[in-house]
Amino acid sequence: MIPVRKVVCGISGGVDSSVAALLLKKKGYDVLGVFMRNWDIADETGHCSADRDKDDAEYVCQRIGIPLQEVNFVRHYWNEVFSELIEDYQNGLTPNPDILCNKSIKFSIFYDHATKNLGADAIATGHYARTSFGEDLKYYQENKRVRLLKAFDAGKDQTFFLSQVPQKSLQRTLFPLGGMTKNLVKKIALHAGLNHIVKKKESTGICFIGKRNFQDFIKDYVKPKPGNFVDIETGKVVGTHAGIHCWTIGQRCHISGLHTAYFVADKDMKTQNILVAPSTNHRSLFSQTVLTNPPYWIHSPPDQLYQENTFDCYFRFQHGKPLVKCTLTVSHKNCLIVSLEEPLRALTPGQFAVFYTEEECLGSARIIRPGLSLWSLNYNICKAQNLSK
């Protein structure tokens, strides 16, 4: 049993990480704030948002009375996250940079820096999540495995983004906000005099894109490969595009000269064609099965899954969406087949299938591809019936 005294808390300049650090200090921990610079290229206005965030982080730490250090992880972020992101887009996938960043940067490189270079007994972040060790970590017991639990505030729960976090790091991580609501966090910040931080607009979207249109951003990194938009019902070309890397499943396509609203149903890497559906709820956008890569289990693999080859749990592939009941089956090379209780829209290759029980985030696996859409299933049934006549 190792006592936990010094905690290194990631400070982003936002209200959540600020209150997390404040709460840790009030509980008697020796708190050091660390600002992580993961991206420092100026946006389209010539300003670097990381500089503004650093100023806010300094203001927070001065206000609550803790020291602040800055660490530069730009090279690591580029190698571990951004390069993989670009490769995925080139291959027609839609990656999740937040999950990749937490896995490779915040809970790997930052964790190692904090524990090995800064003498931290534990790290902390402003994520809305909990662990089976609780919100306080008085002692650290090496190799005692920990479970990742959903936050008290279901609307703010961020375990989705933590579904690939290494067990080693999680064992020595504190989530001070796990048992709080967002409103309470704001009240604590206001009471501490952090009015400017509370009023600050919450960051959304991908940090390195800024205010730019995604298609304007990605063309700087991926060579355009023009192709056609093809109506999935008629097989007719209804427009052209600059490359499948610019589009994701379920996205609306604003095709010049057409009044019909089309949505991406599928992408063909070989032909660079994008199949589009003529309505947002078209049956080609819905599937009830998913094939994934081998999963990462945060605490341990579910015994039932690998003993009986089937396991019932809950599924989501987009943060904030309702959990859906599912059944997992082990497939070839330890991949998973996910059978959903109800069809879901726009199940997207490259995204993560995240698995839950009622309280626990079990882990996740990258989606290889969805199963046949409701449109394809109906087409195959009709084709079989015609052949049998």
pLDDT in tens, the chain (389 residues): 778 899 999 999 999 999 999 999 999 999 999 999 987 665 544 455 788 899 999 999 999 999 999 999 999 999 999 999 999 999 999 999 999 999 999 999 999 999 999 999 999 999 999 999 987 888 777 778 999 999 999 999 999 999 999 999 999 999 999 999 999 999 999 999 999 999 987 765 555 555 556 777 777 888 889 999 999 999 999 999 999 998 999 999 989 888 889 999 999 999 999 999 999 999 999 999 999 999 999 999 999 999 999 999 999 999 999 999 999 999 999 999 999 999 999 999 999 999 999 999 999 999 999 999 999 988 665 555 554 54
pLDDT of amino acid 380: 63
The structure's pTM equals 0.92
Strand intervals (E) in 99-157? 122-124, 130-131, 139-140, 148-149
Residues tagged active-site: 101, 207
Distance in angstroms (rounded) separating the CA atoms of residues 301 and 33: 34
Supply φ then ψ for residue 181, to 5 degrees.
-95, 160
Q: How many CA within 13 A on the CB side of residue 285?
A: 18
Tokens read off for 125: 């972040």
Q: Identify the three-state secondary structure at position 242.
A: coil
Paired tokens of 123? 């790290």
Q: Which two tokens stand for residue 243?
A: 């490359």
Helix (H) or strand (E) holding 23, with range, is helix 15-26
Q: What distance in Å separates the CA atoms of residue 36 and residue 15, rounded to the nearest whole number?
A: 16
| Parallel, antiparallel or unpaired: strands 122-124 and 6-10 | parallel
pLDDT of amino acid 216:
72
b (16+ CB within 10 A) / e for 351-373: bbbbbbeeebbbbbbbbbebbeb
Three-state DSSP class for 72? Answer: strand
The helix or strand, by DSSP H or E, that contains position 168, with its residue range, turns out to be: helix 167-170
* Number of alpha helices (DSSP H) and beta strands (DSSP E) in the chain: 12, 21
Tokens of 245: 């890397």
State how far the alpha carbon of 213 is from the alpha carbons of 10, 43, 46, 152, 216, in Å: 29, 12, 16, 35, 5
- Residue 8's nearest CA partner among 83, 90, 111, 138 is 111
Beta pairing class for 274-277 and 352-356: unpaired
Residues in the chain: 389
